[in-house]
Amino acid sequence: MPSGVERFPTPRPPVDRALLASLIEDARLPHSRLAALKRLKKLISDSESNKRVVATTASGVVDFLLSVVTSNVENAEQEHEEEALSILHALQLSGDELRLLLDRNHGLFEALTATMRKSNFQSRAYAVLLAKSAVSVSPPDTLLGLPEEFFKEVIKVLRDRVSHQATCAALKVLYAACQWGWNTAKAVEVGAVKVLVELLLDEPEKKESEMMLVLLDDLSRGPKGAAQVVSHAAGVAVVSRSILRVTPGTTERAVRVLHSISRHAATPEVVEDMAQVGVVSKLCLLLSGECERSTRETARDVLRMHSRVWRRSPCVSPPQLKVLSSL
């Protein structure tokens, strides 16, 4: 090569639809399906232009990939299903493309639920990642129609710690779906509160910790959710520990959880436990420290609710007693 001359490779043209149609035909045959799926995966990894062509409705690829997942999902060939899910994830479908996909495939969430029910961690991870994308563009009536079984399997992904990425996706699925009260009840019913407490015990990263407290706040606003927090041996303690330790947002949500407990689940034993694990100490610090005004007022409200009991507790220090007496 002459000195000073640099050659650049000629860009390849995007894949043509004739080739995609041929690959789909090959993939329809059980004996050649896996090879065709792997070739398709290689094509979309070659270039962004290939990825965009494959993602279009006209290519027919996305619908076919979903059919691999949805048809006979309980008995689907595990490796075929995993490849199809991995391609769907790699395509990074836009919001509009996802809406069209949901319009054409009303059984998507049922299929993802069945996939998450399986033992293969990689397939479960891909399924919850696709669920996160689908939930983000689903209309309210679709979200309200999500079955309890869907929440059960998403929560199992959290419980089993399938992967860090899957945990983040599962938290976002629950957050989006639980903006609707009926779904909050479903999540509480299938054990979301216990799983969130267990995850918080492991001291996750700041972002995940804040998301877990946001969810715990949503789920504990009713009597059943609040009761499930206190029924866990470490429930009150792990919420109290989050105050003034992670982020201001985490502190705000933790105080709100304690407020829900105080309203809905404050048995004499729970109130004494709150003093023993340091709740009174943390709330008193909030009254004199820098935090959002709303957080300070919520903390004050919790202290006021139980000040008569806490003033008699041996766990309360003289400075804290002074704060309680001033309320």
Return the higher-pLDDT residue of 173 and 326.
Answer: 173
Given this model, what pLDDT does residue 18 score?
Answer: 86
Q: Is the pLDDT of residue 279 over 90?
A: yes
Mean pLDDT, range 55-74, rounded to an integer = 79
Q: Is the pLDDT of residue 1 over 50?
A: no
Please, what is the Cα angle at 93 between 90 and 96, to 5 degrees?
Answer: 180
Q: Which of 103-112, 216-225, 243-252 has the highest mean pLDDT?
A: 216-225
Return the higher-pLDDT residue of 301 and 76.
Answer: 301
Q: Considering only 71-75, 123-127, 163-167, which range has the smallest mean pLDDT? A: 71-75
262 Cβ contact partners less than 8 Å away, ≥ 6 residues apart:
301, 302, 305, 306
Tokens found for residue 107: 């059984």
Name the residue with tokens 């309890």.
148
Q: Considering only 46-50, 149-153, 239-243, 274-278, which range has the smallest mean pLDDT? A: 46-50
Kindly indicate the confidence band of residue 10, based on its pLDDT and cuts at 50, 70 and 90.
low
Q: Give the whole-number percent of the chain exceeding pLDDT 70.
A: 94
Given this model, what pLDDT does residue 101 score?
Answer: 87
Given this model, what pLDDT does residue 7 score?
Answer: 59
Fold match, 33-190 / 193-313: yes
As a whole number of angstroms, the distance between CA 271 and CA 263 comes to 11
Tokens found for residue 246: 């992670």
Fold of the CATH domain 33-190? Leucine-rich Repeat Variant (1.25.10)
**In the predicted model, what is the mean pLDDT of the chain?**
90
Kindly indicate the confidence band of residue 12, based on its pLDDT and cuts at 50, 70 and 90.
low
- The domain spans of the chain are 33-190, 193-313
Kindly indicate the confidence band of residue 11, based on its pLDDT and cuts at 50, 70 and 90.
low
Given this model, what pLDDT does residue 211 score?
Answer: 95
Return the higher-pLDDT residue of 167 and 289.
Answer: 167
Q: What is the CATH number of domain 193-313?
A: 1.25.10.10
Q: Is the pLDDT of residue 245 over 90?
A: no
Mean pLDDT, range 77-100, rounded to an integer = 89
Write the CA distances from 188 to 156, 282, 314, integer angstroms.
Answer: 13, 27, 34
Quote the DSSP letter at residue 16: P
Given this model, what pLDDT does residue 8 score?
Answer: 52
Q: Is the pLDDT of residue 274 over 70?
A: yes
Amino acid at 267: T
Q: Is the pLDDT of residue 79 over 90?
A: no
As a whole number of angstroms, the distance between CA 253 and CA 240 comes to 11
Please, what is the Cα angle at 262 between 258 and 265, to 5 degrees?
Answer: 105
Mean pLDDT, range 45-49, rounded to an integer = 87
Q: CB atoms < 10 A from the CB of 297, how many?
A: 12
Kindly indicate the confidence band of residue 53, based on its pLDDT and cuts at 50, 70 and 90.
confident
Angle separating helix axes 248-264 and 268-276, nearest 10 degrees? 150
Q: List own/partner pairs for 46-51 with CB under 8 A and 24 or more apart.
A: 46/12, 47/12, 47/14, 49/14, 50/14, 50/15, 51/90, 51/91, 51/92
Q: Give the whole-number percent of the chain exceeding pLDDT 90.
A: 66
As a whole number of angstroms, the distance between CA 24 and CA 72 comes to 18
Write the CA distances from 152 to 67, 141, 159, 204, 238, integer angstroms.
Answer: 24, 20, 10, 22, 23
Given this model, what pLDDT does residue 203 score?
Answer: 86
